[in-house]
Amino acid sequence: MNSDEQQALLRKMAVMMKNGLKTQTEPFPETDKEFAAILGELRQLDPEDLKGKMVIGGFIDQPYGPDQQRCLECMYYLVHRQWCDLPELSVPVDPNWWCRLWRI
């Protein structure tokens, strides 16, 4: 994906969230088993199903929780690409967004 395509996809995601896309922020996976279950749901999707990835992943366009977690601190976030490198998601993300697959 070239940078123009990536930026277009990032904008599309931002608009979907701004327009009120309801995502599954809860339950947050506290165990590896719960985390793996969400990954299993994501693997069932067509890799091009952006909305499905966002809903199951629990994407929101702001930091989340009492610790104000955000993509920027997640182990899957690639800073120089503004990209989520979790294979089941593999989408551009803003550093101030969050999803329930957040990990440190």
Can you give the pLDDT at residue 76?
Answer: 97
CA gap 46, 37 in Å, rounded: 17
With bands split at pLDDT 50, 70 and 90, how would you rate the model's confidence at 104? confident
CA gap 88, 85 in Å, rounded: 8
Q: What is the DSSP string of the chain?
A: --HHHHHHHHHHHHHHHHTT------S---SHHHHHHHHHHHHTS-TT-HHHHHHHHT-BSS-BTTTTB-GGGSTTEETTTTEE--TTT-EE--TT-B-TT---
pTM of the complete model:
0.94
54-103 pLDDT tens trace: 999 999 999 999 999 999 999 999 999 999 999 999 999 999 999 999 99
